[in-house]
Amino acid sequence: MEREAVVQSAPQQPMNERPSFLVLHGEMTAAIVSGILIVIGWFLMNQDYSEFGIGSFILAYVIGGFAKAKEGIEETIKEKELNVEMLMLLAAIGSAIIGYWLEGALLIFIFALSGALETYTMNRSERELTSLMELQPEEATVLYEGKEKTVSLPNIKKGDILLIKPGERVPLDGTILSGQTSIDQAAITGEAVPVFKEIGNEVYAGTVNVNGAVTVEVTKPAQDTLFQKIITLVQQAQNEKSPSQLFIEKFESVYVKAVLIIVALMMFLPHFLLDWSWTETFYRAMILLVVASPCALVAAITPASLSAISYGARHGILFKNGLHLERLAHLEAIAFDKTGTLTKGTPAVTDVITREGVSEEEFLYIVASIERYSHHPLAQSIVQHAQSKITKELKQPEQLEDVPGFGVIGSLNNQEIKIGKREFFKKEAHAFCPNLSESFATEGKTVVYAKDDQGIIGMIALKDMVRSEAKEAISVLNELGIKTVMLTGDSEKTASAISKECSVENYIAGCLPEEKVTHVKTLKQTHETVAMVGDGINDAPALAHANIGIAMGEGTDVALETADIVLMKNNLSKIAQAVKLSKKMNAIIKQNIIFSISIIVLLICSNFLQFLDLPLGVIGHEGSTILVILNGLRLLKN
């Protein structure tokens, strides 16, 4: 019952074009109609209208079996290999030849029903992709020389200016140039509460502008947006096959040939060796043809795999293919980058210490007035913090000089102000709250000092804050018995502080990109499956060398393309969730395989011992297939 994923054509469909009823429900409708015709045929046969009853059964054959017969014949011609569909077709025809019209029709009906369930699984997976696609508008309002013009997304270029009104979806990734609003980002980041956005903030395609008109400069064309990457990754995962699926496909080909050879022998040998009648011999051969077909075995993996991929996509975990979804269950060690992965990647002010006689507000006003003209990340964080704490407008410095590697020198109210790291001030900085400075360093904080004519005015401690979910995520991974390691280019003190805060088992500081690769390779020597989590260009080599590369959704394009799994919501707790999902999927697949093989063996033995009649053989074989598919569908809700 191998099928090509129906999602392959989805991205080419217009976003507002919905599949027809027949496309979505054709197989299930055919199966139901086939079932009704079987009931009618059975009733007519019991009323001695055998000719009309047989006619009803023939219609049930044609309507219920057309899709499967067409699929089987086309696949056989294309691949030059017999398949399960052809086995079922031959079994149904054989049943009719020996006068078991009802049994043959039941075989077609249950086979069609199991196929419809499998198609439902794939359509459900496709709907996850379609629902994503519908979030992105097809057109946007572009401002050309102050005039509004409606333009289709493929024709909008990087640098174009968009007008996004309240209630409209953001069509493309961009940066706000004017206005302020709240953006509902639930579709991309999973945040339940709309996020306030103002000039300079980024907005993402597929999100909703809640309450204010804004103009946005496009930073990425339609094909490169974060939203489009989600769609591409989901589609790619749906069309890829796991190792188990590939193995079953190869096994199916060999198994089908073996079954046909055994059935052919079964048509003659029992008559001569066991003294069965020709009728009994052919009858048992037909039952063997039915019960030995590996329908349930073939259906053991695909529905479960697609269901798990769909569940992951709905919860912000994108698997690029089934291989890594299956492999994740065997994860033994995981290495994390620090900046942008365990931490938010942007420093935040944690402490402000001033000398006696200087208020915190006055100190922040002086420092921010000078630092707001610097592009250094620390300077921007200080300015942002100051603007949230003080009310008066910052003043423009009379003079500003950048001192590379140390800080800046500015002039404010005709007074020279020096701002920078400790080494910029020599002994004066060392003497200012020395115990506190050492404490900040131990905690992994960076300290910025400011000095005027009278000496050190104060100091500001900043820290790249650990993600709120990081500690919990690491704790769960440790509980699962997975070794956790942090690889960072930061100093020993910073690495030690962050690793303790996150409860990471081990850390390695001062790592260059190539050294991260070396450490990942070392982990692979002692652990069967190793994952690497990162977000930057410098993490890409390690992501590629790990057994499983995991990228943060807001990471660089290189990291996203190199990784095997993407956490679209940047939520590290999703890693443990993905591991549990993989374990559950593998457990369900094992259950399905053991169950389907057991049923096949039981039915074959019962047939040889002449305990099994064709109706029970049909129900046992196709019923097991339906149960296997339904078991796999459980993963849609996890």
Total-model pTM: 0.65
CA distances to 87, 180, 266 from 280, rounded to whole Å, are 20, 82, 11
Instruction: Indicate the helix (H) or strand (E) that contains 303.
Output: helix 302-314
**Mean pLDDT score, 596-625:** 84
Does residue 325 carry a pLDDT above 90? Answer: no
Does residue 624 carry a pLDDT above 60? Answer: yes
- pLDDT bin (cut points 50, 70, 90) of residue 249 is low
**Mean pLDDT score, 38-52:** 85
Does residue 619 carry a pLDDT above 70? Answer: yes
Does residue 13 carry a pLDDT above 80? Answer: no
pLDDT value at position 538?
72
Q: State what percent of residues in the chain have pLDDT above 90.
A: 13
Choose the most confident range, by mean pLDDT, from 269-283, 351-365, 422-436, 543-557: 351-365
- pLDDT bin (cut points 50, 70, 90) of residue 575 is very high
* Among 169, 303, 150, CA closest to 225: 169
Does residue 485 carry a pLDDT above 90? Answer: yes
CB 394: neighbour CB atoms within 10 A?
Answer: 19
Choose the most confident range, by mean pLDDT, from 53-57, 89-93, 330-334: 330-334
Average pLDDT, the chain: 80
pLDDT value at position 391?
82
The token duo for 226 is: 């974060």
Does residue 216 carry a pLDDT above 80? Answer: yes
Q: In what order do the strands lie in the sheet with 343-354?
A: 343-354, 455-466, 446-452, 415-420, 407-412, 399-403
Active site (annotated) includes residue 337: yes
pLDDT value at position 4?
39
How many alpha carbons lie under 13 Å from residue 137 in its C-beta half-sphere?
A: 20
pLDDT value at position 590?
92
**Mean pLDDT score, 331-346:** 87
The residue to which tokens 């050879």 are assigned: 261
Please write the tens of the pLDDT for every residue from 114-171: 777 767 666 655 555 455 555 567 788 899 877 888 888 888 888 899 999 888 888 8
Pairing of strands 161-164, 202-203: unpaired
pLDDT value at position 124?
59
The full 3-state SS of 377-409, as one line of letters, equals HHHHHHHHHHHHHCCCCCCCCCEEEEECCCEEE
Contact 325, 238 (CB under 8 A): no
Q: Would residue 455 be called left, alpha or beta, if left means φ above 0 and alpha means ψ between -120 and 50 degrees? A: left
Does residue 17 carry a pLDDT above 60? Answer: no
User: Which residue among 160, 173, 337, 464 is the active-site one?
Assistant: 337
pLDDT value at position 248?
67
Does residue 568 carry a pLDDT above 80? Answer: no
Instruction: Indicate the helix (H) or strand (E) that contains 601.
Output: helix 573-608
Q: State what percent of residues in the chain have pLDDT above 70.
A: 86
- pLDDT bin (cut points 50, 70, 90) of residue 255 is confident
**Mean pLDDT score, 396-417:** 84
- DSSP structure string for 160-214: -EEEE-TTPBP-S-EEEEE--EEEE-HHHH--SSPEEE-TT-EE-TT-EE-S--E
**Mean pLDDT score, 234-244:** 56
pLDDT value at position 16?
40
Instruction: Name the least confident of 21-25, 265-269, 440-444.
Output: 21-25
- pLDDT bin (cut points 50, 70, 90) of residue 474 is very high
Higher-pLDDT residue of 163, 306: 163
Contact 232, 225 (CB under 8 A): no
How many alpha carbons lie under 13 Å from residue 175 in its C-beta half-sphere?
A: 7
Does residue 180 carry a pLDDT above 80? Answer: yes
- pLDDT bin (cut points 50, 70, 90) of residue 523 is very high
CB 587: neighbour CB atoms within 10 A?
Answer: 12
pLDDT value at position 122?
62
Please write the tens of the pLDDT for every residue from 450-470: 998 888 898 998 888 888 888
pLDDT value at position 26?
74
Contacts of 162 (CB under 8 A, 6+ apart): 140, 141, 142, 143, 156, 171, 172, 174, 215, 216, 217, 218
Does residue 515 carry a pLDDT above 90? Answer: no
CB 604: neighbour CB atoms within 10 A?
Answer: 18
